[in-house]
Amino acid sequence: MDLIYGIDLLGTMVFAISGAMAANRKGIDIFGATFMGFVTAIGGGSLRDVFLNIRPVWVEDGNYLLAIFTGVLISVLFNKNLYSFARTLFLFDALGIGFFTIVGVQKSLSYESSAMAAVMLGMFSASMGGVIRDTLMNETPLILRKEIYASACLAGAICYVLLHMTPISENFNAFISASLVFLIRFLSVRYNLSLPSVPPVEEKET
Amino acid sequence: MDLIYGIDLLGTMVFAISGAMAANRKGIDIFGATFMGFVTAIGGGSLRDVFLNIRPVWVEDGNYLLAIFTGVLISVLFNKNLYSFARTLFLFDALGIGFFTIVGVQKSLSYESSAMAAVMLGMFSASMGGVIRDTLMNETPLILRKEIYASACLAGAICYVLLHMTPISENFNAFISASLVFLIRFLSVRYNLSLPSVPPVEEKET
Amino acid sequence: MDLIYGIDLLGTMVFAISGAMAANRKGIDIFGATFMGFVTAIGGGSLRDVFLNIRPVWVEDGNYLLAIFTGVLISVLFNKNLYSFARTLFLFDALGIGFFTIVGVQKSLSYESSAMAAVMLGMFSASMGGVIRDTLMNETPLILRKEIYASACLAGAICYVLLHMTPISENFNAFISASLVFLIRFLSVRYNLSLPSVPPVEEKET
């Protein structure tokens, strides 16, 4: 339990770093960077909890906010250096979305959502923070662009819900499903893979 | 009751088609199209439910998600052909927003919102899905442009709340008010009507 | 109590004016102006209440909606003249965000959020309405630009939470903390102050 709590705080911090770095890249002031770190880190999980009609965890547990401020501080102090760690940060992020997806599915199921809703809410947990980050920065959200990101979360969430119906232990299931998210994300970036889109319709002149 | 439930699922599917088609037009991948279909279909109703402090219906009833995936599938498989049905889709959409508006007002009243809040929440139910769709696609929301869309919903919602104070039966009231939304929407597109805006203030050089 | 209720309604009205004026400037129709006035006025407080898992106040108390419609009406009728009152409106807005911040902190604490979460939610109450307004208008939110706005709210919220631990009376604390928000906002605009940003990283050619 303590391990999961620790990973959750660490993942929150990594998300806060990603939000604050996006703000730093655009020359936004340090308050704006803190704000972006905050909404990126809490956005996905808060939306899930709001839909489950429960309170987001950070409203009562101050440690999440401390993790966020630590992440923002790191991004402000070590901004330049962080770019040398781009690969490390990418790995952390890929691990983080795998973890957040599965935690999101588990929480939704334990609050009695349907299995399908748990899949959507697990995917939301991991990806909506980034959607809010991109929308506030006035950019088309990453998940609407060509990269495989939230679809990796979706695959992992579906995997968890399916294995949940088998006698496999919950912990083992969580490990397999989170690894699947990580692997899909990792391989898609490594080999530059993307999903097909529907061919656009040519508009005829009339 | 079963009829209303069926219409609700059908309306959800039509909204999902509209969201997914918007994504297809921009060359977004099939996952992004699914995501857009989903948020367009559930956005308005979920926001209403969150403000009423209850759980959105799709969190517990998997049929809504099935309706959405069916809509997305239709938009992906029949993308090109759907444009030939543009007129049919428009009629479905106009019927859909009429229906969603009134269902939204009824639900809000039954959860003891004030009459005025029920009007706003009814209008939200029908129009916020599209607002979220446009915002995520990085466009100015349709309802902030010249077309009469959410204002048709507003008129229908006000009509329902006013007739609700008379001895008219609830079903008849719902039918009249939903038809009003449909009629305003239909006629405004047919005759290219729009609401006035406040004349912009000329900025003086100083 | 009646005074605070009155100020709350007045602040709501001022926020509605600011939202509707933003819409008027872009030539958006009167429905869109009403919609923008509404979301600007209720956005911040509603988000706070949703995170606290309670119902936003306007869902049950129709007076807030009346205050908003009054604000929109003022902005539509006196649009041109309001620009002559730009300074007055600025002062009202600065007072308003001070007031909303502290009310937001108090409400969050009374619903048993952690002290740190109360700070964030107080800042949210006063500033998220504007963030939603700017995002819907497809602009980079004001609080991500150079002006000191939400950071003034943050300072006031922190001040309140800190003084809350001392024997100072709640009313006196509220007065001091709200004045701090007002003063920081006022002086930063008067003397054109801004927070530093993290220097952008030069991208090396490779």
Q: Which residues contact C60 (CB under 8 A, 6 or more apart)?
A: B112, B113, B114, B117
Taking contacts as CB-CB distances below 8 angstroms, the residues of chain C near B121 are: 59
CB-based contact C24:C33 (threshold 8 Å): yes
Searching chain B, which residue's CA lies closest to the CA of residue A115? B62
Q: What is the DSSP letter of A58?
A: G
Q: Which candidate in A144, A149, A202 is best for mutational testing of the B interface (most B CBs within 10 A)?
A: A144
- Residue C56: inside a domain: yes
**What is the predicted pLDDT for the residue at B206?**
44
Q: Do B30 and A196 touch (CB under 8 A)?
A: yes
Looking at the domain assignment, is residue A57 inside a domain? yes
Q: What is the pLDDT of residue A206?
A: 44
Whether C196 maps to a domain, the answer reads: no
CB contact under 8 A, A115 and B35: no
Lowest model confidence (mean pLDDT) among A23-37, A192-206, B16-30: A192-206
CB atoms within 10 A of CB A162: 14
Confidence of residue C24 (pLDDT cuts 50, 70, 90): confident
- Locate B10 and state its tokens: 């059908």
Say if B81 is an interface residue toward chain A (CB within 8 Å): no
Distance CA B52, CA B50 (A): 5
B7 and B101 in contact (C-beta within 8 Å)? no
B157 found inside a domain:
yes
Whether the CA torsion A181, A183, A189, A193 is positive or negative: it is negative
Partner B contacted by C59 (CB < 8 A): yes
Rounded distance, CA B88 to CA B13, Å? Answer: 14
Contact check, Cβ <8 Å, C114/A59? yes
Closest residue to B201, CB basis, from C61, C79, C138:
C79
Lowest mean pLDDT among A187-191, B36-40, C45-49, C121-125: A187-191
A115–B65 CB contact, under 8 Å: no
SS3 (DSSP) at C197: strand
Task: Retrieve residue C34's tokens.
Answer: 């009403």
The reply to whether residue B23 touches residue A144, judged by beta carbons under 8 angstroms, is yes
Determine the residue among B29, B61, B81, B132 to mutate to test chain A binding: the one whose Cβ has the most chain A Cβ atoms within 10 Å: B29
Chain C residues touching residue B114 (CB < 8 angstroms):
59-62, 65
Residue B85 pLDDT exceeds 90: no
Collapsing DSSP states into helix, strand and coil, what is residue B203? coil
> Which residue do the tokens 């039509």 mark?
B14
**Closest CB from C114, C135, C194 relative to A60:** C114
B110 neighbourhood in chain C, CB within 8 Å:
none
**Nearest Cα to A154, choosing from A192, A132, A185, A190?**
A185
Task: Return the half-sphere exposure (C-beta side, CA atoms, 13 A cut-off) of residue B161.
Answer: 24
- A161-165, A194-198, C22-26: least confident range: A194-198
Share above pLDDT 90 across residues of chain C, in percent, rounded to a whole number? 49
Tell me whether A55 touches chain B (CB under 8 Å). no
| pLDDT tens digit sequence for A61-118 | 999 999 999 999 998 888 777 777 777 778 878 888 899 999 999 999 999 999 999 9
User: Sorting pLDDT into bands at 50, 70 and 90, what band is A205?
Assistant: very low
pLDDT, mean over chain B: 86
Residues in a beta bridge with A29: C197
Residue A177 banded pLDDT, cuts 50, 70, 90: very high
Nearest chain A residue (CA) to C203: A83
Domain contains A160: yes
Range scoring the smallest mean pLDDT among B162-171, C58-67, C71-80: C71-80
Contact A101, A180 (CB under 8 A): no
Q: What is the mean pLDDT of residues C69-78?
A: 90
C53, C143, C194 member nearest A53 (Cβ)? C53
Quickly state the pLDDT bin for C187 (edges 50, 70, 90). very high
Q: Average pLDDT in the B184-194 region?
A: 86
> Using CB atoms, which chains have 3+ pairs under 8 A with B?
A, C
Q: Is B58 on the interface with A (CB under 8 A)?
A: yes
Provide the domain count of chain A: 1
pLDDT computed for residue C196 by the predictor: 75
Q: Answer whether A46 touches C (CB < 8 Å).
A: yes
User: Given CB atoms, is A70 within the 8 Å cutoff of chain C?
Assistant: no
The answer on pLDDT for B132 being more than 50 is: yes
Rounded to 5°, the CA angle A69-A71-A74 comes to: 110
Nearest CA in chain B to C32: B144
Q: Which of B30, B35, B61 has its CB closest to that of A198?
A: B30
Domain ranges, residue B142: 2-190
Strand partners of residue B125? none
Q: For chain B, say whether C86 makes contact (Cβ under 8 Å).
A: no
Facing B138 at nearest CB: one of A115, A117, A140 = A140
Count of alpha carbons within 13 angstroms of residue A175, beta-carbon side: 5
Buried b (16+ CB within 10 A) or exposed e, C49-75: bbbbbebbbbbebeebbebbbbbbbbb
Within a domain: residue A119? yes
A195 domain-assigned: no
| Nearest CA-CA distance, residue A144 and chain C, Å | 17
What pLDDT is attached to residue A202?
A: 55
C70 at the B interface (CB within 8 A)? no
**B114 CB near a chain C CB, below 8 Å?**
yes
CB contact under 8 A, C51 and A59: yes
Comparing C-alpha atoms, which of B111, B98, A138, A57 is closest to residue C113? A57
Q: What is the pLDDT of residue B205?
A: 44
- Is B60 a domain residue? yes
Query: In Å, how far are A3, A104, A152 from A108, measured between CA atoms?
Result: 20, 6, 19
pLDDT at site A1: 56
- Whether the per-residue pLDDT at C79 is higher than 90: the answer is no
Please give the structure tokens belonging to residue C8.
């709350």
Token representation of residue A71: 């992440």
Closest CA of chain A from C144, distance in Å: 5
Q: What are phi and psi of C29, to 5 degrees?
A: -70, 170
Question: Measured between beta carbons, which residues in chain A are less than 8 angstroms from residue C137?
Answer: none
- Higher pLDDT pick, C36 / A4: C36
Nearest partner of C37 among C85, C84, C75, judged by Cα: C75
Q: Do residue A28 and residue C138 have CB atoms under 8 angstroms apart? A: no
pLDDT at position A105: 95
* Range from B85-89, C31-35, C42-46, C115-119 carrying the lowest mean pLDDT: B85-89
Let me know the angle formed at the C-alpha of C197 by C196 and C201, rounded to the nearest 5 degrees. 140
Cα within 13 Å of Cα(A79), Cβ side: 21
